[in-house]
Amino acid sequence: MSANLLMRIIWLLSGIGLVLSVLREPLFQVVRLMPQPAWCGGGFRADGVYPGTAASTLLARARHVGSWLDGDEWQGDAETVWLPAPSGLIRVFVAGYPQHPDCSLAVEVRGSDGRVMRLNCDLPNPGDAWKPWDFQVPGGADAWRLVARDRASDACGWLAFSEPIAIPSATLSRWFVLAQVLTTVALTLTLVWGPGLLWTPAGSNPGSRAAMFLGAGPLCLLLTAVFIWLFAGVVRPHYLGFAIVTLLWLAIGARLLRNPPALRKGECRVLAISGLVVIAATMKATYAGGPEGELYAGTISRTLAVGDRSDARISFHVFQVLAQHAAPSSVTAERYFSPWTFFSRGPLAGLIASPIALATSGPPPLAMPDDPWEPFDTTGFAAHRIVLMTLASIVVFALFAVLASVVGEAWAVAGAGLLALSPFGVHEVLFTWPKWEATAWTLLSFLFAHQRRPVAAGLSLGVGYLFHPLAALWAPWLALWAAGRNGMRIVPFISGGVRFAAGLCAVALPWMTAGVLASHTSDAPFAGQAGFIDYFTMADGGPADWSSWSRSRWMNFSNTFLPFWLHYFNGNHPSISSIHAPSGPLVRFAFGWWNTLPLGMGLGVWALSMWALTRAARLFPAAFWMLIAGPALLLVAYWGAHSTGLMRECGHPLFAATIAVACTTASRTHGPLGRIMGHPLFPWLQLPETLLMLWLTTLLNPQPWTGADPVLNAICLGISVLTLGVAAWIVYRSRGMISPPLDSRSD
């Protein structure tokens, strides 16, 4: 299949995604089974839930009662009216603690002989959130009702439930949701990648070509988001989002049909690999359930990982602020970001994702995104997650662009494949904080610096900073590289560094200044970026003296760079465990794929990379010290929060640089290193570790989520494994094009 035909198919699928977003509301509207006003008797009170219980947009049109009456002490009963037995599934939203020994919720079913059978609610305690309980009334029943009992007066001694609603058949829901997920992926690929592919001149400079691909689509979406933000108080934001996204889709389609892009073979392969990784990650996110102790499990903002990192939903708060037409320093914004602020991290990822989320789903919730989890929710979180995954995947193309300018297209595809198929590479696409996006622009900054374009290099790093502040840690090294490429005489050297700094400051300083000058409506201890600077003087998250500082820095180094050190010597550290209860050894071991370089790269790739770096220290000393050793030492000295490995914290650019330097060394080295790293079978050896990272703790979860659709889960699992396999096959085919190693020489 040609690249142009595939792009047109993706464009058509993205149009279907827009149509499905319009059809969802009439197809899946809430059908009340108890229209009468007096639907529930007894002592439970309307809205009788703990005040902190997250309101659900799915619950907006369903009445509910609860036993939390100014405290947990109240006791009483509740029962609904009797209803004729329906056909199909019934959904009831539940909050509180139905599994408390002195609380219960059940369905009473009355047969034709007058006997009553009881079906107890088996939903795990939702706590201070609403979760769906789906059931079906057995055949042969004459009538049914809900009954609840609260005999508890201790803490957590309350429960609440909604009126029952009819939901469409599982088959219709399953296939509609799957279609909406996949077409939203197509729409995101079209809007994020399309403008850069279609409007980039064929003969442009490699750096400019990469910048156009990385920036054109996101820039269109960013401008759309700002327009929606400004006029959200006049026109409903989801109407604006749908209208402008549709216009962008039509413009891309017209250009695609009239003047399709001219892509090189290597670019086509890298884009295919990136798209397949996005689909694989999306299917993992659509799979109901994750590892035992998953953060925000059972809600739309589930992080798909264990631990205390809520960063995966911080960008979503930008979307919530935009949709409410709220100011960055308003009470609304402060409530979402506390104890940080809107200015603490870059806003680009959240803004870029907002138009697509509005167009395909609708407005976000006003409260925290703790609505009951759905594979594709109407609040925009699933769509928002898909956009952030697609944005993260651009790091694969950015690494390809860097390597293509240094070692050629074949080795560039091989290096991009190493990152795309590594456990850490896939995990950080899946975990939707914008650190890969910042890394992509950091790589582009290096490419411009290498091409003796220091101002463009500084501007690019500034854009990366507006995705995530970790990009700033690479400013000194890229400034040195830009200055050195400008000449080693004093005046050209200083000139190159100054021009780099001018480009960086032109983008980063206005944002930093806004963070400092913004007034705050609440006590925000981490206003602006000040909290990140404090990491230099902290030790494992607390104040440091020399002893604790040196001990935590040794932990930074050993847990990051020594294989299995984190698991065997620091496996009981609280930050590599669930916040709900201590995690088992399997879940703790799985943090190695996220925190450490050896498991994050895959043990085979890591071993070969260390071999290559020892050669690079001799062959390319400038690259080794300025791109590997120097940044690694700075990161070890900098990170003063939890010392359980630097990869997830700020090691993303170092991870990409390690692969880039290793591939460069292998491509220019005669002997077994080049033959092994260039062997076509290498991606197949890499794939098992990535699949274990994705699925091991989920499939071996001893308490899987009870709200799962087993058929949809099986489909998601199959598509995820298949797409990663196809990506490995593309890398395998590309590696066969690698030429014999070049003579050992530096560029």
Helices and strands (DSSP H and E) totals, the chain? 29, 15
Share of the chain above pLDDT 70, in %: 95
Q: How many residues does the chain have?
A: 747
With tokens 């669930």, the residue in question is 578
Q: What is the pLDDT of residue 744?
A: 40
CB 633 within 8 A of CB 641: no
Considering Cα of 99, then 102, then 103, then 105, what sign does the dihedral take? positive
CB 680 within 8 A of CB 736: yes
Q: Which of 252-261, 436-445, 522-531 is predicted most confidently? A: 436-445
Average confidence score pLDDT of the chain:
91
Whether pLDDT at 51 is above 60: yes
Alpha carbon distances (Å) from 619 to 355, 443, 506: 48, 21, 36
In angstroms, rounded to a whole number, what is the distance separating the alpha carbons of residues 602 and 647? 13
The whole-model pTM stands at 0.90
* Both tokens assigned to 718: 């199959």
For the stretch 701-717, pLDDT in tens is 998 877 688 999 999 99
In angstroms, rounded to a whole number, what is the distance separating the alpha carbons of residues 656 and 309? 22
Between residues 669 and 432, which one has the greater pLDDT? 432
Q: Minimal CA–CA distance to 642: which of 689, 600, 594?
A: 594
For the stretch 533-559, pLDDT in tens is 889 999 998 999 999 999 999 999 999
DSSP structure string for 324-370: TT--TTSHHHHHHHTTS-TTSS--HHHHHHHHHHHHHT-PPPSS-S-
Q: What is the pLDDT of residue 746?
A: 38
In angstroms, rounded to a whole number, what is the distance separating the alpha carbons of residues 294 and 698? 10
Between residues 62 and 215, which one has the greater pLDDT? 215
Q: What angle do CA 371, 134, 177 make, to 5 degrees?
A: 65
For residue 671, give the 3-state DSSP assignment: coil
Query: From 3.40.50.12780, 3.60.20.10, 2.60.120.940, 2.40.30.10, which CATH number describes the 31-167 domain?
Result: 2.60.120.940
Position 450: which residue type?
H
Query: What is the mean pLDDT of the segment spanning 250-278?
Result: 93
In angstroms, rounded to a whole number, what is the distance separating the alpha carbons of residues 671 and 706? 54
* Both tokens assigned to 45: 């009170």
In angstroms, rounded to a whole number, what is the distance separating the alpha carbons of residues 457 and 444? 7
Ordered by start, the domain boundaries in the chain are 31-167, 173-430
Residue 237: pLDDT band with limits 50, 70, 90: very high
In angstroms, rounded to a whole number, what is the distance separating the alpha carbons of residues 179 and 192? 20
Whether pLDDT at 347 is above 90: yes
For the stretch 67-79, pLDDT in tens is 999 888 999 999 9
